Structure 1
Amino acid sequence: MSDSSKTAVITGASSGIGAVYAQRLAARGHDLILVARRLDRLEKLAHELSSAHGVRVETLAADLGTDSGVSGIEKVLASDKRIGMLVNNAGVARLAPLAGATAEDAMSQVSLNIAALTRLTRAVLPGFLARNQGTIVNVASVLAIQSLPISAVYSGTKAYVLAFTRALQAELASTGVKAQVLLPGVTATDLWSEGISGVPLSVLNQDSVMSTPDLVDAALRALDEGEAVTWPSVEDAQLWTDFEQARARLFAATQTGRPASRYRAG
């Protein structure tokens, strides 16, 4: 990565995937700005990383599910010219049938998974473009392309992250700014608990669960190699190529300006 001497901002950095990103990027020589709600965890991690790797680590407590929380981080991203990387990792899953979900559970996913990610990306982008360098990593999910009876809102938010990042990649194609979208499967994090997702890790097929170090190491290797869309657990990369080609053919087939023959009267 060309931004190894720059500062990386990581959201949702107090545990799980975000904390491992912090560890790995500190080991690569990045200074860090760690963002999460739990300041005590952030400060403990910051002390460990600065002691182990000699990097500068700042902590910012913010609830990115709120307007005020996002606004504070937007200001940092827009004004700090040291920032060369943004990892949009903060997210939440509330898995339940929509009819039985509360409005709060539904909208908390939209606020964090969509609104915060969009606002923070938009805030950092002008500076990256002005300097013609920078890296944005957006964490989506394999449920971006697969909807379950309990994932209407969550799958919808992660489908947004995938589509948003793909469009952003096209927008940035002629610049020195890069964007990667990461699509993890089930990962061993705090998210998979009765109190957060509603689906505890213990009830899932353990053969399908990836460790957070394995996930982040795969994601960073893919980023080093310039991969735009990363499926860490998918062995056959041709599957994504086939999916993209089928999507392109389907879109091309929509550009006729007339109803398909099956919808036209005799």
Structure 2
Amino acid sequence: MPRSPRPLALVTGASSGIGASLARELARDGHDLILSARRVAPMQALAGELKASGASSTIIRADLSQPGAAAALVQEIAAKGLVVDVLINAAGLGANGRFDATDPVRVSEMLQVNVLALTELTRLLLPGMIGRRKGQIMLLASTAAFQPGPQMAVYCASKAYVLSFGEAIAYELKGSGVSVTTLCPGATETEFAAVARLENSALFKGGMVPVMSADEVARIGYQALKSRRPVAITGLRNTIMAVSSKLSPTPLTLRIANWMMTAGK
């Protein structure tokens, strides 16, 4: 299959939210897309929209909450003769509530999507980028990565992993031609809040930090990716919150995080 002169980007979590908005940024900037998520219909609608930017889209359904899904996705991409220049790991899951009361299946799915699939996709696609001495990788973390989070213990811990992993491999890859950017948004207007049952939490309703649009987060993130910045926190107030949480005493940080992430009625 002849390769398009346009660079090709794989976006996971492309059916909605930040993933879909990042796909739009990539299309506007001259990329073709591989869109991957569990729901096909929204990706089909997005692919139609991206045609206006001259972008062609390949849709591959993948449920990254299932073991082996990341490897199967890479195998299908290779079978189609496609070569990934940009990897956007935007798929993510969350759940609100005390750890002991959280559905264990949901816990496993969060770890599979947020940690294992993200790591596997990066590991499988990175050698090819290094061999070509060209590539860009984005890992979607969160401002939740900067402190432990009661009521969202597994989610926050998984995002701390993403941030640590991203910073480490970004350093390892200096001089390779491949960059890694870890994007850390705060509260964002996506389906995430409803799915994680956070709509009525202080994080989204308290006004302490602004709730940004997915498009705004994607613009900031994409500029950071193009600039090859290792870490990008979206917005000044989110940056202040992230930095202050690392400097504050842990008991105070835990108390604030518990208040912000406790879902109200």
Match of 1:129, SS state, is helix
- Contact kept in structure 2, 1:188 and 1:201, CA below 8 Å: no
Aligned length, in residue pairs = 239
Q: After the TM superposition, which segments of 4 or more aligned residues of structure 1 sit over 6 Å from their partners? A: 236-244
1:238 CA drift (Å): 8.9
Does 1 or 2 have the higher relative contact order (CA < 8 Å, sep 6+)?
A: 2
Match of 1:192, SS state, is helix
1:30 CA drift (Å): 0.3
1:179 CA drift (Å): 0.3
Q: Structure 1 regions of 5+ residues with no counterpart?
A: 247-266
Distance 2:227 2:49 in 1: 29
Distance verdict in 2 for CA 1:204–1:98, change over 3 Å: same
1:243 CA drift (Å): 9.3
- Contact kept in structure 2, 1:136 and 1:180, CA below 8 Å: yes
**1:30 maps to what in 2?**
31
Distance 1:204 1:89 in 2: 24
Aligned residues: CA RMSD: 2.5
Distance 1:96 1:236 in 2: 23
- Contact kept in structure 2, 1:143 and 1:155, CA below 8 Å: yes
**1:133 maps to what in 2?**
134
1:240 CA drift (Å): 7.7
Question: Structure 1: which amino acid aligns with 2:73?
Answer: I
1:225 CA drift (Å): 2.6
TM-score (normalised: structure 1): 0.83
- Contact kept in structure 2, 1:78 and 1:127, CA below 8 Å: no
Q: Which moved more, 1:70-79 or 1:106-115?
A: 70-79
Question: Structure 1: which amino acid aligns with 2:70?
Answer: V
1:78 CA drift (Å): 5.9
Match of 1:92, SS state, is coil
- Contact kept in structure 1, 2:111 and 2:158, CA below 8 Å: yes
Question: Structure 2: which amino acid aligns with 1:137?
Answer: M
**2:95 maps to what in 1?**
94
Residues 222-237 of structure 1: matches in 2 within 5 Å? 222-234=224-236
- Contact kept in structure 1, 2:93 and 2:192, CA below 8 Å: yes
Confirm whether residue 67 of structure 1 aligns to residue 67 of structure 2.
Answer: yes
